[in-house]
Amino acid sequence: MSGTVEAKLAALGITIPAATAPAANYVPTVISGNQLWISGQISVAEGKFLAGKLTGEADIEGGRAAARQCAINILAQVKAALGDLDRVKRVVKLVAFVNSAPDFTDQPKVVNGASDLLVEVFGDAGRHARSAVGVAALPFNVSVEIEAVVEFV
């Protein structure tokens, strides 16, 4: 049934934005076989960067919101590439980068913002392998960047 995923997103109050164009010399997605590889999506919403280095416990919720926005932006790229989010068979892998201070070690808690949304939207098909890595800086000083691999039909 077409539109099932979009109906779920609407029920969650989420509108999928238009997919953003690359900021440099790369493509936003690549299809290889039945897999869609999505270039890193940064934490940007309505033209505003969800920015800043995460430094402590107080930053986890803001980081989770930034990671959630990355997942929404990933869905925008999936929709642009496949035309229909219902074609997603499984979210295979996320690789997440968290702009964090050297002593910040809660990257997995931050990236749960993206993982939780994908599971909420796709159910068991949204469960994925994942890496959550702390980095010294990200483009535009955003808090989170996430790339993904999605299997589709």
Domains assigned to the chain: 42-152 (3.30.1330.40)
Strand-pairing partners, residue 134, are 98
Q: Are 59 and 144 in contact (CB under 8 A)?
A: no
* Rounded distance between C-alpha atoms, residue 34 and residue 1, angstroms: 20
Tokens of 30: 């690549």
Instruction: Per residue of the chain (153 residues), give pLDDT as tens.
Output: 468 999 999 999 999 999 999 989 999 999 999 999 999 999 999 999 988 999 988 799 999 999 999 999 999 999 999 999 999 999 999 999 999 999 999 999 999 999 999 999 999 999 999 999 999 999 999 999 999 999 999
